[in-house]
Chains A and B, each alone.
Chain A
Amino acid sequence: GQQVMQIPQYQHVQEGEDFTTYCNSSTTLSNIQWYKQRPGGHPVFLIQLVKSGEVKKQKRLTFQFGEAKKNSSLHITATQTTDVGTYFCARGGSQGNLIFGKGTKLSVKP
């Protein structure tokens, strides 16, 4: 239905390695948002993607929205220990609510 599936659930990387998390939907998305939650913290908005095939960059983070608007990805180049946390994607609901994926927990070994 409206769920978004996020994979992987966990990812352990060596500092300097790249990291990617994927968000998939069975239905077309009007938009997709990404949030980051640091350990012990609360989710913080990173970005929203709206257009088919859209690619946005924030320093070492690259966000993509699929051509069919059914999937999205977040890629981090050369991870740092400051990237540790859980990354959530979220799709918009019909009343201004969000439907969150279960998140990908990233750990980075220095």
Chain B
Amino acid sequence: DVKVTQSSRYLVKRTGEKVFLECVQDMDHENMFWYRQDPGLGLRLIYFSYDVKMKEKGDIPEGYSVSREKKERFSLILESASTNQTSMYLCASSLNQVAHEQYFGPGTRLTVT
């Protein structure tokens, strides 16, 4: 079974702090994704990566950056957290660009105060 893990289930940070959200998958997947999920807005793609050191902007990349130094790990960085970044953050992975089925991690609920 594919396993996608995220570093924290719940996180509380202060405005202006730098925040790191970590995601690890154990199935040698090429693609990894970061989404945020807000009530009424569904899943919105922040960034994705289809290879080590590669990244692509999703629909809402502003205020975020990512890092993929190793194939199994994809990090989401909030350079200076703001209250409007309070949300549920979901990481996902998929085998490659052809097989689109995505496997999601349990999510990190981030609160910025």
Give residues in A with beta carbon < 8 Å to B: 9, 31, 33, 41-45, 48, 88, 92, 95-103
B33 lies within 8 A of chain A by Cβ: yes
Residues of chain A within 8 A of B58, CB atoms compared: 97
Verify B101–A48 contact, CB threshold 8 A: yes
Given contacts A42-B90, A42-B104, contact A95 B42 (CB under 8 A): no
Give residues in B with beta carbon < 8 Å to A: 30-31, 33, 40-43, 45, 48, 50, 56, 58, 90, 92, 94, 96-98, 100-107
Residues of chain B within 8 A of A33, CB atoms compared: 100-101
Residues of chain A within 8 A of B103, CB atoms compared: 45
Given contacts A42-B106, A102-B42, contact A48 B100 (CB under 8 A): yes
Given contacts A45-B103, A48-B100, A48-B101, contact A96 B41 (CB under 8 A): no
Smallest CB gap from A97: residue in B: B48
Verify B90–A95 contact, CB threshold 8 A: no
Given contacts A95-B56, A96-B97, contact A88 B42 (CB under 8 A): yes
Of the candidates A41, A98, A102, the one whose C-beta lies within 8 Å of that of B102 is A98
Smallest CB gap from B45: residue in A: A97
Known: A95-B48, A96-B50. 18 other contacts (CB 8 A): A33-B100, A42-B104, A42-B105, A42-B106, A48-B100, A48-B101, A95-B97, A96-B31, A96-B94, A97-B31, A97-B48, A98-B33, A98-B100, A99-B45, A100-B42, A101-B42, A102-B40, A102-B41
A4, B40: Cα distance in complex, Å: 15
A103, B43: Cα distance in complex, Å: 9
